[in-house]
Amino acid sequence: MKKRGRGLGCAWYGTGYGNGFPDVSSAFVEIHDDGSVSVLTGAIDVGQGSSTIFAQIAAEELGIDPEEVTVISGDTDVTPDSGTSAATRHTYNTGNAVIKAVAQAKASLLTYAARALHCTTADGIELKDHKVRVKGEPSRSLPLAELVSKARLEGERFLGSDSYTARTTRVNPETGQGAPYWPYAFGSQVAEVEVDTETGNVQVLRVAAAHDLGKAINPLQAEGQIAGGIAQGVGFALLEEVRLSEGRIKNPTFSQYLIPTVLDMPEIRAILVEEPEGTGPYDAKGLGEPAMLPTIAAIVNAIDDAVGVRITSLPATPEKILAALAEQSKK
């Protein structure tokens, strides 16, 4: 017999290294004479999309397209240290560093543009649609590439270099008080599962996932992060287990250590809760790791709702579920 159930999982997650550990990201930026921009960071994009975010930030600040921004990351000959790709920190930490570095390059560009366009102050200049122009007077403008090229011939370069540090404090061991993380991410998920009471097999049918990510810089990418987190959560909840014997891994291959495939993935509804984080770049904060956390609890709670057994160790394998059902029938 197959029975269905639904379960809720909720989580909060402190992003960044936390607990007073130095958490610094740095970035270099240069505006080139063809109107393109280079952003150099030590942040490694391992699929989470951080390079896309940095390109979007620089493009937004300078009035160009993200495709005109080249992000160079992880080349220790030229890139500054931006910390590890961990702790759900790059959008917030390194994103803030990129904004600060772009602001430096932009400030020198606007100062030069004010002279070139005979404007009294740099505050009267704006960057928009690949042009540098006097505010309120669109006719007084130059293409960005032309202005930068002119400046280069005069020995000017538009560079920016800056860092951002997340400020946290150690937790007092006596009182338990402190500010160990900032910002915090929050998420809730509901999972619907189908449990086969004869085999113990669990199929995750649907997951609705609501996550607070500040403001979404790239909504499609954020939805992808949620889907990836749910995939990992399904594996953690139902399949993945390292088996050890006398210090050796007994299941070192993917034929023995099982992970979800696309056929195991549920229908996903991603809900982006946009509560602005005022200290983040464009009010954004991280989403990566928190997307996985509620999935596990939601699935285990849904199994309980479906067949009335509480699985207390992961993964919730068919063997554990059948054993729990057998124990339940004795009561």
Which tens digits make up the pLDDT trace of 17-50?
Answer: 999 999 999 999 999 999 999 999 999 999 999 9
Calpha distance 232→221 (Å, rounded): 17
Average pLDDT score over the chain: 96
Task: Give the separation between CA 197 and CA 323, rounded to whole angstroms.
Answer: 11
DSSP 255-316: TTS----GGGPPEEEEEEE----TTSGGGB---TGGGTHHHHHHHHHHHHHHHS----SSS-
CB 96, CB 25: distance < 8 Å:
yes
Amino acid identity, position 190: V
pLDDT at residue 190, as a whole number: 99
| Residue 208 banded pLDDT, cuts 50, 70, 90 | very high
Q: What is the pLDDT of residues 288-310, one digit of tens each?
A: 999 999 999 999 999 999 999 99
CB atoms within 10 A of CB 208: 18
> Mean pLDDT across the stretch 211-228?
97
Quote the CA–CA distance of 173 and 175 in Å, as a whole number. Answer: 6
Strand positions, DSSP E, the chain: 2-14, 24-31, 37-41, 69-73, 125-128, 131-134, 137-143, 158-165, 184-196, 202-212, 244-245, 248-249, 267-273
The pLDDT score that the predictor gives to residue 330 is: 84
Beta bridge partners of 210: 188, 271
Spatial separation of the C-alpha atoms in residues 148 and 155, rounded to whole Å:
10
Which residues contact residue 107 at a Cβ distance below 8 angstroms, ignoring those fewer than 6 apart?
122
Check if CATH label 3.30.365.10 holds for domain 2-15+181-329.
yes
Query: Residue 138 — pLDDT band, cuts 50, 70, 90?
Result: confident
Considering the chain, what percentage of its residues have pLDDT values greater than 70? Answer: 100
Active-site option among 154, 156, 289, 319: 289
What does the pLDDT read at residue 329? 86
| Residue 322 to residue 27: CA distance in whole angstroms | 54
Nearest C-alpha neighbor of 90 from the set 82, 102, 99: 82
Per-residue model confidence as pLDDT tens digits over 162-175: 999 999 999 999 99
pLDDT value for 294: 98
The CA distance from 284 to 185, in Å, is: 11
**pTM, 2 dp:** 0.93
The per-residue pLDDT for 148 is 98
pLDDT in tens, 77-134: 999 999 999 999 999 999 999 999 999 999 999 999 999 999 999 999 999 999 999 9
> ∠153-159-163 over CA atoms, to 5°?
175
Using alpha carbons, select from 299, 88, 315, 65 the residue that is nearest to residue 205.
299
Burial class (CB in 10 A: 0-12, 13-18, 19+), 325: middle
Q: What tokens appear for 197 in the block?
A: 């009471």
Q: Where do the CATH 3.30.365.10 domains begin and end in the chain?
A: 2-15+181-329, 23-164
pLDDT in tens, 315-331: 999 999 999 999 998 87
pLDDT of residue 77: 93
Helix-helix angle 50-62:95-116, to 10 degrees: 20
Q: What percent of the chain has pLDDT over 90?
A: 98
Q: Is 241 a catalytic residue?
A: no
Pick the CATH number of 23-164 from 1.10.287.1770, 3.30.365.10, 3.30.230.10, 3.40.440.10: 3.30.365.10
For the segment 243-264, the average pLDDT, to the nearest whole number, is: 95
